[in-house]
Structure 1
């Protein structure tokens, strides 16, 4: 009897193990090579690297443009870094790949019912209402605001340089505040007053927001965070709402503040539209479009709050990082910096315009090359995490060598498959900051059209492309023009900059001072007018 029981138990264990083994072997992406820890997968390696993108570059060099990675608790993740695959995932499959369910719940908790978690017809409705505020014509009217804000920051820098040859300034400290002020005026016709000397609620909450809410988690935090994603969505929502956690507390406070400000602004803008006094800021155009739509197409109150919270959270620290990274790269190469400054000053002499315009910014080839190279080299979001909503077949531009030496030209994916999408690498000097690649015909490969700007994935692509990409590009352009015309930037040889990844967001930090959060100190002096 005992022998029979033991034998039966052993048989059950053997069969279960065999079934699990066969499921792994027969899983569509099992044909690919890859690696990862059996409990936490590759997440600790990625989350705690000193330089975001280093792991992905190693994956590309080891496995090619596609690999299988172990996620937490044995999950199989498909990692792709191939332009044709990216084009299919973002454009060719319609809504066949969406934000992963667990990421949606995180976004819902952080921002609310925004366009970031909408899908299908609901997503189309959101984009239709929001589009007028980010159209090509509307965005050009915000350029003077960007330039004026940059000049206000410049005046404060000049004060800091009074009676000094140079000053050590933290680019992130300043650009986060300046872009918040620019966003307030251009998007909401609202004064955040972040550049003010006196600290306020806004600067307290939004200073270092990305880092405070997602930088360098411990293995235990990764374990717990991944374990929660295995629960049903309703349980995840309860967990986010009621379980104490420093990160969730920060996110909750920021969301409440955003919604309080947004509620006040919605009421004011709605009254202005009704009185036929519509402004030209993004929010006024959004409210007008919403009130003009038929009842079925309108955003409800919760959705409106979600859109405005999204604008506040996504619209300043991301651009601030891009400005800081651009200045850092130019500070590392004085010749590049001088070349761009000369282009800026030549443009200003020749055009003699009272204010910057879109035509002027678009006409500066080296400025635009520097911006594209900054966004390529230092993308604010360095990967996109998707989940297949249906079975599909992902094509590869460049075949990869799979298990057993098999040549893989396309990848079968099943509904529910998690996909990590990275930008393709630009040539053998991909790890070098080289704006020249954007000025030479044929230097940047364009085998597949993916992104909305420079064929980069910085702003995503397809129907999920960032609506505010033009807003961000013109803001970045205006800030660089104003700052480089007036100041010279140099790196501090004693400071080593890390490019850490806070929940997929690349942010600068100082080695040995990670506890201080995001920083990028540079030596700043007034630029010689003879340059």
Structure 2
């Protein structure tokens, strides 16, 4: 009886989804939109629009054409004829990320968050509105500078293990090493110990951990899912969890099956870690002090804060479990690939690498191996290298927002419409998708000058151009949008900076990095990552590594 009811209910929901799709097809193809007068490329497909080009792992040429041909505001096409807005105008971004955030006019795309919630659970990456604000409020204190100072020794302990592991391989001479693998392992271990109070990887051998392998495979597998990425958001509407899982099992695509195994592996292991941590917290702080992280990790502090919180502010077990996925997925690939990018750039620019090495070696002689947090963060050239890398090569290139009320977006300068008229502002209908190009605003020549596309750490050692200040780019970090702004800005951006600087401080003072004979190609992806060619989705970055002295 319950089975037939569930099945009939699911069929009714499926019928509703089909009607919903047909309505959108009619609306998109047979009604006018304020976006129709905005210039942009023709649609690539009436079914998928430009989405397959936009989210392709080699989308560089497509997005560069949007930037160079159509400027800071253009029209592109979404699924089933939807008109989307592609923007990187700083005044427009201020309206989206700052001015209208309190009213929740622009939030993450519900299709994106719905699909991601099925994979990662209910965490900061997948919630919005009051639920998101409640989670962020209870999480904010654990990412404070004061807390990071307390965790800095753990960062050094882990990074020293990385140094020993690499030294053992290059002791007898330079060797070819896959550095993105080591950066990923290090980032996971830092998130594990500092975020979850759990050690995933001793960093002493080439041992494989199933959980770590699942984390590393998550983003490349999403790239391989193709139409699965488009269909995934609709699965949430198709009945109860057991029925949705059965439907997913019927999809005859290897990447979908692999993703199911990845999610199951991550969920089971995370739940095991969470339950053990929760039991320790409930048994008293003395038990936690004897565990990895000694109770200073984010999850231990979060659990204690949650126990003390007012009833209406408490997070449920599934929400807390969702935060574990958030820490890992938001913190591992982004930071590890950013660190990998720095090493690649230093190999391409040996003079800059040597200048950075002189600074960190001098700092080691002054402060010792474990330079204090404030002094590490203040090293000028290390800071310049990190800022310039995060400006020019933001790990995340695009961010998508959906508009929840009819509104008008201002422009820094009018654009010329398809009909030849000047458009001083853009009317945005409710339900519109906005694609924010973070890389484009970070490298906008009108803001950063003619050398905006060049990697020049020295630009941060001198006063920035007046145009940078005047642009008022609404990022929370260094006049760039790498970590966004508003209620969905990256809550762990200071954690990420500390991780980058700790790893670079230890590695650059100890090793010399050079290009190898294996090509390094950076895939666009949700998080940009290196591979050996544009046809490969496997993260790899082979470099020649030797002792610095």
Counterpart in the other structure of 1:506: 528
Alpha-carbon spacing, 1:275–1:477, altered in 2? closer, same or farther (3 Å): closer
| Conserved? CA contact 2:333–2:527, under 8 Å | no
Q: Deviations over 1:436-486 (max 9, x none)?
A: 232232337131241221122222211111111110100001100100000
Report the TM-score when normalising by structure 2.
0.85
Tell me: CA distance 1:426–1:344, structure 2 relative to 1, closer, same or farther (3 Å).
Answer: farther
1:421 counterpart residue number: 436
**Alignment of 1:474 onto 2:498:** yes
Partners of 2:28 and 2:80 within 8 A in 1: no
1:443-454 equivalences under 5 Å are 443=465, 445-446=468-469, 447-454=471-478
SS at match of 1:141: helix
For residues 131-530 of structure 1, the aligned pairs below 5 Å read: 131-164=140-173, 166-193=174-201, 195-197=203-205, 198-211=207-220, 213-216=221-224, 221-222=226-227, 225-227=229-231, 229=233, 233-234=237-238, 239=244, 242-244=247-249, 245-246=256-257, 247-273=259-285, 279-349=295-365, 351-353=366-368, 355-423=370-438, 424=441, 425-427=443-445, 428-443=450-465, 445-446=468-469, 447-492=471-516, 494-502=517-525, 504-511=526-533, 514=536, 517-528=538-549
* Inter-CA distance 34–433: structure 2 relative to 1 (3 Å threshold): same
Q: Which residue is equivalent to 1:5?
A: none
Q: CA deviation at 1:53?
A: 4.1
1:58-97 to structure 2, matched below 5 A, reads: 58-94=65-101, 95-97=104-106
- Looking at structure 2, the residues matched to 482 and 109 of structure 1 have their Cα atoms a distance apart, in angstroms, of 38
Count of matched residue positions in the alignment of Structure 1 and Structure 2: 499
Secondary structure at the aligned position of 1:60 is classed as: helix
Distance 1:39 1:151, change over 3 A: same
Q: Normalized against structure 1, the TM-score is what?
A: 0.88
Q: Which residue of 1 aligns with 2:135?
A: 126
How far is 1:235 from its partner?
5.5
SS at match of 2:503: helix
Which sits farther off after the overlay, 310-319 or 267-276?
Answer: 267-276
Whole-Å separation in 2 of the counterparts to 1:21 and 1:176: 45
CA positional deviation for 1:522: 0.8
- State the distance in 2 between where 1:109 and 1:207 align: 18
Question: 1:449 and 1:253 mapped to 2: Cα distance?
Answer: 40
Distance between the aligned counterparts of 1:435 and 1:368, measured in 2?
9
* Cα drift, residue 127 of structure 1: 1.0
| TM-fit CA distance, 1:356 | 2.2
Task: Judge which range, 188-197 or 323-332, deviates more.
Answer: 188-197
Does the 8 A contact of 2:28 with 2:83 survive in 1?
no
How far 1:406 moved relative to its partner?
Answer: 2.3
SS at match of 2:312: coil
Distance 1:135 1:148, change over 3 A: same
Looking at secondary structure, tell me which structure has more helix per residue: 2
Name the CA shift for 1:235/1:366 in 2 (closer, same or farther; >3 Å). farther
Structure 1 distance, partners of 2:459, 2:343, is 19
Q: CA deviation at 1:147?
A: 2.1
After TM superposition, the structure 1 stretch with the greater mean CA deviation from structure 2, 231-240 or 436-445, is 231-240
Q: Point out where structure 1 has 5 or more consecutive residues left out of the alignment.
A: 1-16
- Does the 8 Å CA contact 2:280/2:288 hold for their aligned counterparts? no
Residues of 1 paired with 2:501 and 2:323: CA distance?
25
Structure 2 unaligned runs (5+)?
1-24, 250-255
Residue 38 of structure 2 corresponds to 32
Q: Comparing both chains, which one has the higher relative contact order based on Cα–Cα distances under 8 Å and sequence gaps of 6 or more?
A: 1
Report SS of the residue matched to 1:316: helix
